[in-house]
Amino acid sequence: MAAGGCGSNAPPPTAPTPPSVGATVLSIGGQAILNIGLTSQLTARTPDGTTLSGVTWTSATPAVATVTSDGLVRAVAEGTTTITATAPSVNGRGSVTVLVQQSGSSTVVLTACGSLTSPGRYVVDRDIPANNSVCFTMSSVAGLQLDCLGHSMRGIVIEHTSGTTMVNCMVEGSITIASSSDVTVSGSTITNGFLYAAQSTNVTIAGNTVGNTGSGGLVVLSGGSNNHVTHNTLNGGYDGSRADVGVDDGIIVLNESGDAIEDNSISNVYDAGIEGVGVVTGTRLTNNTMTNLGFAGVGSYWCTAWTNNTVQGNSVTSAPRLVTIVYSTGPKCGATIVPPAFSGNQFVGNVFRNPVSGTLITIRRAAVVIDMPGLVQGNLIQGNDLGAADGPFLSPLDGFIDGGGNQCGPFSSTFSNFVCAPPAALRQWGKGAVRQ
């Protein structure tokens, strides 16, 4: 780290930000809620899940809650305090707010796996060892809140519920939501599993980290509507080779309507960052960042029937294509083979950089390939920046509207049928020199 020179107005150098420490609670930054007299065991971990030793624990207000040298918090009196963990071994520090409430309130402390069938607030006060693939099941209940306080457990099932929230959980396995409404899953980490919402509405999946190396999708929405997937970090373990290594897709949208897929970071999947399957209508795929993909940023291949969707402001790097949309039939269509449709969709302001071969084996080198049978009309292509890559191949071409502002490499009829402007780096000799 370089020091500032004499006379500089720059502030003095500071040490690099250390990795956060947490009980995982601390690394997540959640809020612990305890009744007077109850305890909660905190365990300091680095962000990758490594348990730390030699941690110093302190409570800002011991009169509200104390903490032992081993991280055991005891609620003493009503109020709020901050528990801080300091770990010299990683130069790390983290804290969590502890809210102490009167005994007899509605909070239930969970110390073991089980079924949750009554409304109210539940907190997990310790890591729960794995004994099967599912730890908690929330079934046929409304108004249930689960706060894992950063503790670890196996899978979670939410079914036939409404008004359910789940936060600050470390899940080894999958989180499954079925036939439910108004469900929120946030601030959680899912490893070796996926997050799946089926036949559900108004589900919010926000601020989670999902990592897996198995097949399928990291987040899957199926047969529902008005669901929102935002600010998640998804990593599928793909290594950039020709082989199908790791997870197929980051997010799968299967027969859904009215969804919003926004501001997610998706990396290392061997197929598509976001894949549509079947009927997808009125859905927004916006401002997602996708990198190291085997096939495309946005893809749809199976029984594609898209109407009035928006693909806007996405950034795709290190992939063969920005978009690949075609129509095929097969088992992945599901029980119903829907006819092809592609109308009223918008592709606006997306950015594509660093084309790579990935798992794609094809002569069609265009950065955007949309090749649809059936009714294709009124689809807008506007303001997309494809860098020096070949421009779009769109079929049938008269089903698309050129909204202008699209940039790509020199036009080549071998790969493209849609003329766009050259990128800025190629304009120094004038447009006539680089376009046919």
Select from 101, 122, 143 the last residue of a domain.
101
Instruction: Please state, in angstroms and rounded to a whole number, the distance separating the CA atoms of residues 254 and 332.
Output: 10
% of the chain exceeding 90 in pLDDT: 58
Asked whether residue 205 falls in the same domain as residue 89, the answer is no
Considering the domain architecture, whether residues 247 and 386 belong to the same structural domain is answered as yes
Q: Where are the beta strands (DSSP E) in 282-423?
A: 284-286, 289-293, 296-302, 305-307, 310-312, 315-317, 321-328, 341-343, 346-348, 351-353, 368-371, 375-377, 379-382, 393-395, 400-404
CB 34 within 8 Å of CB 98: yes
Q: Copy the structure tokens of residue 405.
A: 């502002």
For residue range 77-134, what is the model confidence (pLDDT) as tens digits? 877 788 888 887 776 677 777 777 766 556 788 999 999 998 888 989 889 987 788 9
Which helix H or strand E contains 219, and what residues bound it?
Answer: strand 217-222
| Inside any domain, residue 224 | yes
Return the CATH number at 31.
2.60.40.1080
Task: Please determine, for residue 311, whether its predicted confidence score (pLDDT) is greater than 90.
Answer: yes
Residue 312 CA: distances (Å) to CA of 178, 322, 397, 409, 424? 29, 12, 20, 21, 21
Say if residue 97 is in the same domain as residue 203. Answer: no
Our count of domains for the chain comes to 2
What integer is the mean pLDDT of 373-384? 97
Counts for the chain of helices (H) and strands (E), in that order: 1, 44
Most confident of 83-87, 332-336, 343-347: 343-347
Could you give the CA distance from residue 41 to residue 27 in angstroms, rounded to a whole number? 15
Kindly state whether residue 53 falls inside one of the protein's structural domains: yes
Q: Do both 259 and 397 map to the same domain? A: yes
User: Average pLDDT of 410-432?
Assistant: 67
Q: Chain centroid to CA 233: how far?
A: 4
Q: What domain range includes position 51?
A: 25-101
Domain annotation covers residue 314: yes
Evaluate whether residue 228 is within a structural domain. yes
Answer whether residue 10 shows pLDDT above 50: no
Query: Could you tell me the pTM of the whole model?
Result: 0.77
What pLDDT does 103 receive?
61
Domain boundary residue, one of 101, 133, 152 = 101
Q: Letter for the amino acid at 113?
A: C
How far does CA 258 lie from the centroid of its chain? 18
Instruction: Say if 108 falls within a structural domain.
Output: no
Q: List pLDDT tens digits, range 12-71.
A: 333 333 333 333 334 333 456 677 887 877 777 766 667 777 888 899 989 888 999 888
- With respect to residue 164, please indicate whether it lies within any of the assigned structural domains: no
Same domain, 87 and 209: no
CA distances from 80 to 61, 70, 123, 145, 238 (A): 8, 21, 17, 20, 44
428 and 283 belong to one structural domain: yes
Sheet architecture: strand order including 209-211: 152-153, 170-172, 189-191, 209-211, 233-235, 265-269, 289-293, 315-317, 351-353
Please tell me which residue, 25 or 240, carries the higher pLDDT value: 240
How far is residue 310's CA from residue 261's CA, in Å, rounded to a whole number? Answer: 10
Residue 215, CA atoms < 13 Å, CB-side half-sphere = 2
Measured between alpha carbons, how far is 374 from 161 in angstroms, rounded to an integer? Answer: 39
Range with lowest mean pLDDT among 91-105, 151-165, 302-316: 91-105
**Residue 284 within a domain:** yes
In the numeric block, which tokens belong to residue 364? 């069609």
Classified as helix, coil or strand, 115 is strand
Domain boundary residue, one of 101, 133, 153: 101
Residue at 88 is within a domain: yes
